[in-house]
Chains A and B, each alone.
Chain A
Amino acid sequence: MKPRFDILRVSRWCLLLSGAITVAGVIVFALFGFNLSTDFKSGSEVQFELNQRVPEARVREMFASIGLPLGDTSLTVGGIQQNVVMVTLPEQLTAKQISEIQAAEHRFFPDAKQDIQVNSVDPFVAEQTARKAVYAVLAAAACIVVYIAIRFEFRFAISGIIALLHDAFIVLAAFALLRREVDLTFVAALLTIVGYSINDTIVIFDRIRENLKIDKPETVDDLRAVVNKSLWQVMNRSIRTVLTVLIAAVILYFFGGISIRNFTFALIIGLVSGAYSSIFIASPIWVAWRSRSMKKASRGDKAAPIPE
Chain B
Amino acid sequence: MKWGRLLAFLAMVVVVLGLTISTGPKIWKSIPLGLDLKGGVDLLYAVDTPKGHPLDSTGKAALVRAIEMRVNSLGVSSPIIQLEGHNQLGQDQIRVEVAGVKNQQEAVNVIGATAQLAIYGSAKIDPKTGKVVPVGPPLATGADLKSNAHWVVDQQTGQNAVAIEFKNASLWTSITKRYLQKPIYVFLNGQLLTNPVVEQVMYTGQSEISGGNLTTPQACIDLANELNAGALPYPLTLESETSVGPTLGATSLHRTLIAGVIAVVLIFAFMIAAYRMAGLIADIALVAYGYLTLLTFAGLHVVLTLSGLAALILGVGIAVDANIITYERIKDEVRNGRSLRSAVRVGNRNAFRTIVDSNATTFIAGLIMYIFGGEGDVRGFAVALMVGIIVSLLTAVLFARAMLMTFTAAQAVKNPWWYGAPRGVVKSREAKV
A interface residues (Cβ-Cβ under 8 A, vs B): 2, 47-49, 80, 95, 98-99, 113, 115-122, 124-125, 127-129, 132-133, 135-136, 139-140, 143-144, 147-148, 151, 184-185, 187-188, 191-192, 194-196, 198-200, 202-203, 206-207, 210, 233-234, 236-237, 240-241, 243-245, 247-249, 251-252, 254-260, 263-264, 267
Contact = CB atoms under 8 A, between A and B. Distances in A.
Interface size class of B (residues with CB under 8 A): 35 or more
Closest 5 CB pairs between A and B?
A115-B245, A257-B252, A245-B317, A195-B365, A136-B372
B88 interface: yes
Interface string B269-290: 0110010000000000000000
B95 to A, nearest CB: 10
Contacts of A210: 350
Nearest to A99: B105
Q: Is the interface of A mostly helix, strand, loop or mixed?
A: helix
Interface string B319-348: 011001100100110000000000000000
B381 A259 contact: no
Interface string B245-277: 111100111011011101110110011001000
Residue from B108, B245, B365, B385 having most chain A Cβ neighbours under 10 A: B365
A252 B313 contact: yes
Contact of A125 (B44, B362, B385): B44
A218 B262 CA distance: 50
Nearest to A264: B310
A185 B313 contact: no
A126 B381 CA distance: 19
B242 interface: yes
A116 B252 CA distance: 14
A118 B243 contact: yes
A248 B314 contact: yes
Interface stretch (B149-157, B181-189, B351-359): B351-359
A263 B369 CA distance: 15
B255 A257 contact: yes
Nearest to B373: A136
A136 B321 CA distance: 25
Given A195-B366, A203-B354, A124 B87 contact: yes
Given A192-B311, A252-B256, A184 B366 contact: no
A80 B263 CA distance: 16
B138 to A, nearest CB: 29
